[in-house]
Structure 1
Amino acid sequence: MNIFNLTFPLTVDFSGGKYWINGEGPYLCGEASTAFLAGEIRCESTVDTSQLMQELETVLKIFGSHLSPYSEEQETTDDVYQQLKQSAAACSVNYAFLPLQGSIVLAERYTFPTLRDFLYVELGRAILHGNAPRQCRLCGGWFLHKQGDRAIYCERTAPGQTEKTCREMGARMVFEKKLQDEDTWKLYKRAYKKYYARCMKGNMSEDEFKAWGEQAAADRDAAIEQLKAAADAALSASIIQQLKENLNRL
Structure 2
Amino acid sequence: MNIFVKKPRLSSYRKIENPLDRFPSWQTFNQIDKERARELFDYRDGKLYWRNMVGRRRPEAGSELMRKTTGGDPVWVISLGSRQEVRRYMRCYLVWNWHYGKTDRILRPLDGDHLNDRIGNIGFAGPLPQEDMPEPAPAPQPLESKYGVNCPCCGAGVQVMTADLATQVYGITEQQARILRAIWSGKGKPVHMERVFSEMYADDPDGGPTQEKMYLAFKVAMSHLRTKLEGSGISVETVGYRQGYRLILGDRATSLDSPA
TM-score class normalised by the smaller sequence: under 0.3
TM-score (norm 1): 0.27
> More relative contact order in 1 or in 2 (CA 8 Å, sep 6+)?
1
TM-score (norm 2): 0.26
Task: Please state which structure has a larger fraction of its residues in helix.
Answer: 1
